[in-house]
Structure 1
Amino acid sequence: MRIDKYLANMNVGSRKEVHQLIKKGVVAVNGKTVKTPKEKINENDVVTVNGEEIAYQKYHYFLLNKPKGVLSATEDRSQKTVISLLDSQDQYLPVGRLDKDTTGLLLLTNDGQLNHELLAPNKHVAKVYRAQITGVADEETAKTFASGMTLGDGTKLKPAKLKILKQDKENDTSEIEIEISEGKYHQIKRMFGAVGMKVTALDRRSMGNLHLPADLKRGKYVELSLDEVKNIK
């Protein structure tokens, strides 16, 4: 593998930033200063930046605050995807999907096993969303969701917890928080549609033990530590 790709994949920086580090002469392989970003390395080489060893890490986990208008996909010919928001262009996959107009927490990883563990139907991983609704959600709405709904097409849903944050009867709107343990197609939008309401904005706040940091801006991401990953598992 090329040294610039290796360092970018280990999240030392973007390819451009890595090239600058190499120009400064602070990148070394087996104690020898790297002269070109094209230099090839293997898994037995010792790579350092400013004297600090950059050990190989097989799996990476990124927590993204997904912006509106971006696809939860690896590639698309005409539209921007969540993968394009990462500095590293290695083989990462989104864990589950958020609709194009849905924002908030999205996990990206190259760990296929974790992807399976979080998405497997029998795992019942809780996901919490906040939403703006056209219509006034009330305690009857909460009871309907808590009982486990059957949608018009026969889709059966597990019980969901609805918390009403704000009601505006004059403007016929609500702000709510909802917790579900599955992820069927357009599930929350279909649930509110079934009770005569419409979701106008949807934002995922948490997934299992993973919570969206309050200071993480839209379109930005952080790499999770190994302790945080263990907490997810």
Structure 2
Amino acid sequence: MNLEHYLTTHHQGTPRQIFRLLRQGRVTVNETVADSGRQSVTADDEIAVDGLAVTGRQPQYLMLNKPVGVVNDLRATVAHSVGSLLNVLDQERSLQVLADLPKEVAGLVLLSDDAHFLADVQAAHWPSTLEVRVNGTALQDADLKTLAACQQAQLVTHDLQRYQIVTVQTRQVAVATTALLGLANVSGAVARTAIGPLQLPVDLSTGTYRGLFEPEIDAVMVPTGDTVL
């Protein structure tokens, strides 16, 4: 079979990721960097990604619905940390976190043992979607125009329950969070509901996580050489 098919059948990533692995020179066959996915390989060849044998490399891509107050520390023994949520039996996992969410913000966090994936997502510089609830119905759209570091802002009013939801997009999460918490009558924490095109599933409970699906992985990866404007 060809190398691209071999990597796919051995769960080394989506087809788009495998293209990137090859293009970035991260795949070797018999200790020689592979330059084409069409190269023929056999079971006798020594195939590695990032220096690790393909047969022993099972990359993980996770999304976590982080509770407010939890810090981006992956050590299982640290209280109120991402690691304590992921490692209920105090068993360390070889993961890294896209550590761009302050502890006072809840919501979507990405984790992986593929550092290149996290670096690619960070380099894409996707905007985060943040939202917060405000008691009462006094806010107007004009009040949102002064929010710091917010590219877009939307206000939804629930007249019957007498509250409003403020949603913003920003590339400066910490600054925008301070601005949102400065609104009058804020109720609860600021939460991140999306990173670029990747949405936090409504059925992913706070404090839980799941693996990313292939379309979700591809959605947050910008093709090599491209940037997000």
TM-score bin (small chain):
0.5 to 0.7
Partner of 1:115: helix, strand, or coil? helix
**Judging changes above 3 Å, is the alpha-carbon distance between structure 1 residues 204 and 191 closer, same or farther for their aligned structure 2 residues?**
closer
1:142 to 116, 141, 144: 144
Q: Deviations over 1:170-205 (max 9, x none)?
A: 98x63212221x135343223553x66757421111
2:154 to 157, 162, 168: 162
User: Structure 2 CA distance, aligned partners of 1:187 and 1:216?
Assistant: 24
**Judging changes above 3 Å, is the alpha-carbon distance between structure 1 residues 140 and 84 closer, same or farther for their aligned structure 2 residues?**
same
Deviation at 1:92, TM superposition (A): 1.4
Q: Deviations over 1:38-60 (max 9, x none)?
A: xxxxxx8xxxxxxxxx9533431
**Residue in 1 that maps onto 2:106:** 103
Q: Would you say 1:205 and 2:169 are equivalent positions?
A: no
Q: Would you say 1:112 and 2:104 are equivalent positions?
A: no
1:231 to 219, 222, 228: 219
Amino acid at match of 1:100: K
The aligned length equals: 166
User: Structure 2 CA distance, aligned partners of 1:215 and 1:188?
Assistant: 24
Partner of 2:116: helix, strand, or coil? helix
Give the CA RMSD over aligned residues: 3.3
Give the alignment of 1:123-138 within 5 angstroms: 123-133=124-134, 136-138=138-140
Partner of 1:185: helix, strand, or coil? helix
2:97 to 94, 97, 100: 94
Partner of 2:191: helix, strand, or coil? strand
TM-score (norm 1): 0.57
Q: Deviations over 1:123-181 (max 9, x none)?
A: 34121122123684311123334xxx4xxxxxxx362333334479x98x63212221x
**Residue in 2 that maps onto 1:59:** 59
**Residue in 2 that maps onto 1:187:** 176
TM-score (norm 2): 0.58
Which stretches in structure 2 are left out of the alignment for 5+ residues?
A: 1-10, 12-45, 47-53, 222-229
Which stretches in structure 1 are left out of the alignment for 5+ residues?
A: 1-9, 11-43, 45-53, 150-156
Contact 1:60 1:109 in 2 (8 A): yes
Amino acid at match of 1:209: P
Q: Deviations over 1:50-102 (max 9, x none)?
A: xxxx9533431111111233212224875321122224622212213323232
Partner of 1:83: helix, strand, or coil? helix
1:175 to 161, 165, 183: 165
**Judging changes above 3 Å, is the alpha-carbon distance between structure 1 residues 112 and 228 closer, same or farther for their aligned structure 2 residues?**
same
1:218 to 201, 206, 209: 206
**Residue in 2 that maps onto 1:29:** none
Deviation at 1:206, TM superposition (A): 1.0
Deviation at 1:211, TM superposition (A): 1.1
**Residue in 2 that maps onto 1:72:** 72
User: Structure 2 CA distance, aligned partners of 1:131 and 1:83?
Assistant: 26
